[in-house]
Structure 1
């Protein structure tokens, strides 16, 4: 069995601050930020992202193309893709799995009413098995090109989404989507049962917040090495310093926006080169897969 190497590099990982901060980079190749490589890597996770547990267990050489096509069509088929959120949810899914070793509890996108509908509620419902019990990771993502806008919008949603009535409604929806054949289903259902106090549930909840934006540090790095990729290793440490300075300033802006205090939050910043270029590469790959599996 081939072991997959981590694609994302965690340059900043600071659990000593509240909320903890992770700064994640997709890396560079031949003098360019790895836009197309990231697009390819994201689609490696599409089965895990878009299909429920029981269907994933049936994936084999006979069913693979049919199930892959189903997964691809679950994302969207619309021509108007620039402002859609599914790719952000896919990036969140990948980052949680790769960086934090989570497991998807529910494929939210699988339960869309239509291919081009949006999914309400948290953007990811994952768990971490810590050996003594389950931690529930309810993810939020803003796949934006401006960090200030991402912070503004996600902080509003954080306050809305930890409202007691909202959480009860979300747990009820999640309960109906948990695959009963999944080994963690009994614990998960018990954890979010309506008879369990929200105070107790909050003790086991983490809200990972993933924000993207077009990064000055990344753009400066590309400008520096695009004409001479040989300089990449020479200037790597200077880039890491600039990257860390930028994401720590982003963390300060996030905290200053006024976060809710009764739940654990973890901030994940993913600076991009150009969000538009990444979205275009993702859309191109999605449509190719949809044609191949039609």
Structure 2
């Protein structure tokens, strides 16, 4: 992944309130695009979206059928995009944010996209509910489940952060988790993506509705991905330490504000300390310009 990592740290080292608990189950990741010829690199950002769009909008079997057919992959993926990003409301850009989250999960966390949510949102309204991204990370012979939230906001001040806390809390309800688990085990992508038969069997056993969610919570990670307009980014025309430090300071402050709210609202949830949370922040100069370019490209490929 070609984006610069500004912060990749445990919230323990970032928290400005020693009374907060628990903080050990939280991390902060801050990513940064760069500049060229005095401009934020919009094309680089759009390329990242389209390089990762197939894994978000196509099933594993569809992707296999279109191997080495790059143009066909793009046109097929575009057909499954709902273009809710054209809506003039708070949800504008949400589909784009889901795709970027998939790219970050793949390239930064080395995750497997076991449920391509845009594909299932397009093809089954029942499966559309729930997390914005569902991934599995296999590491050292073990696995973890990642249920992602993806947002694109013009502001990440406190009111917006509160709405994310509510969404995260809702996603951790037992019935919601069991629903996600049943989706994972009932789609064919898991069989195609996980090659180790032993781990695959272990995953399916752990996700069985017969098992208590309490045993699964230590394996659950919640990546909270927030694309956001940023005044520092909008006013900048080249990479510099001053710009980096401004974004770092702002993201540290926003991470503190977010996790304080989360602990206050859902910190008493049973097993909360077992679940791992990752806030991922990515600043952009203009939400409208990014969304409009994305929609234009989608419309182009939908017409192919």
TM-score normalised per structure 2: 0.82
Q: 2-side partners of 1:90 and 1:79: how far apart?
A: 12
Q: 1-side partners of 2:174 and 2:280: how far apart?
A: 25
Relative to structure 1, is the Cα distance of residues 178 and 147 closer, same or farther in structure 2, using a 3 angstrom cutoff? farther
Q: CA deviation at 1:117?
A: 11
Q: Does 1:68 align with 2:78?
A: no
Q: Does 1:9 align with 2:1?
A: no
Q: CA deviation at 1:253?
A: 1.2
CA contact (8 A) 1:141 1:154 kept: no
Relative to structure 1, is the Cα distance of residues 166 and 79 closer, same or farther in structure 2, using a 3 angstrom cutoff? closer
Q: Does 1:198 align with 2:245?
A: no
Q: 1-side partners of 2:175 and 2:83: how far apart?
A: 33
**Which residue pairs with 2:129 in the alignment?**
120
Q: SS of the counterpart of 1:211?
A: strand
CA contact (8 A) 2:27 2:277 kept: yes
**Which residue pairs with 1:172 in the alignment?**
182
**Which residue pairs with 1:257 in the alignment?**
261
Q: Does 1:207 align with 2:218?
A: no
CA contact (8 A) 1:134 1:188 kept: yes
Unaligned runs of 5+ in 2: 13-22
Q: CA deviation at 1:160?
A: 1.0
Q: 2-side partners of 1:137 and 1:106: how far apart?
A: 11
CA contact (8 A) 2:221 2:278 kept: yes
Higher mean C-alpha displacement, 169-178 vs 96-105: 169-178
Aligned length: 275
Higher mean C-alpha displacement, 32-41 vs 106-115: 106-115
Q: SS of the counterpart of 2:98?
A: helix
**Which residue pairs with 2:20 in the alignment?**
none
Q: Does 1:239 align with 2:210?
A: no
Q: 2-side partners of 1:156 and 1:109: how far apart?
A: 22
TM-score normalised per structure 1: 0.85
Cα offsets for 1:238-286 (capped at 9, x unmatched)? 1111111010011111012133341211110111111111101111221
Q: Does 1:279 align with 2:291?
A: yes
CA contact (8 A) 1:35 1:281 kept: no
